[in-house]
Structure 1
């Protein structure tokens, strides 16, 4: 699954640690999400969408 997390995070000038804190996950989890090594659970995907104020489909796309 592809995602726009790194771009969205950069637009806000957030570090991976900043995003991790907002999501309640570790920085390593954010890194794994950004690099595509980990697909988020549905609850985490909804939380990410809320943090960025965008629908899930605008953040995550199929390969």
Structure 2
């Protein structure tokens, strides 16, 4: 059985946050959400809509598909 997509999204978001050397609080502020909400996303507890994933990726200057899969899009 494969890992739920929301868990994969959370892990990829956490990896991106670490890559940028940001705390949850700093990233949450940048995204306009609470640190508690962000922590829930990173743990895979939040079931985001596709529009929310798209907005989140946009705020991070990332491709939404890349954020979901953990891989940058092909050129």
Q: List per-residue Cα deviations over 1:1-20 (Å, max 9, x = no partner).
A: 21100000001111111111
Gaps of 5+ in 1: none
Structure 1 length as normaliser, TM-score?
A: 0.81
Q: Which residue of 2 aligns with 1:40?
A: 48
Gaps of 5+ in 2: 70-75
Computing the radius of gyration from Cα coordinates, the structure with the larger value is 2
Give the number of the structure with larger relative contact order, counting CA–CA contacts within 8 Å between residues 6 or more apart. 1
Matched, 1:26 2:31: no
Higher strand share: 1
Question: How many corresponding residue pairs?
Answer: 61
Structure 2 length as normaliser, TM-score?
A: 0.70
**RMSD over equivalenced CA pairs, Å:** 1.4
Runs of at least 4 residues off by over 6 Å:
none
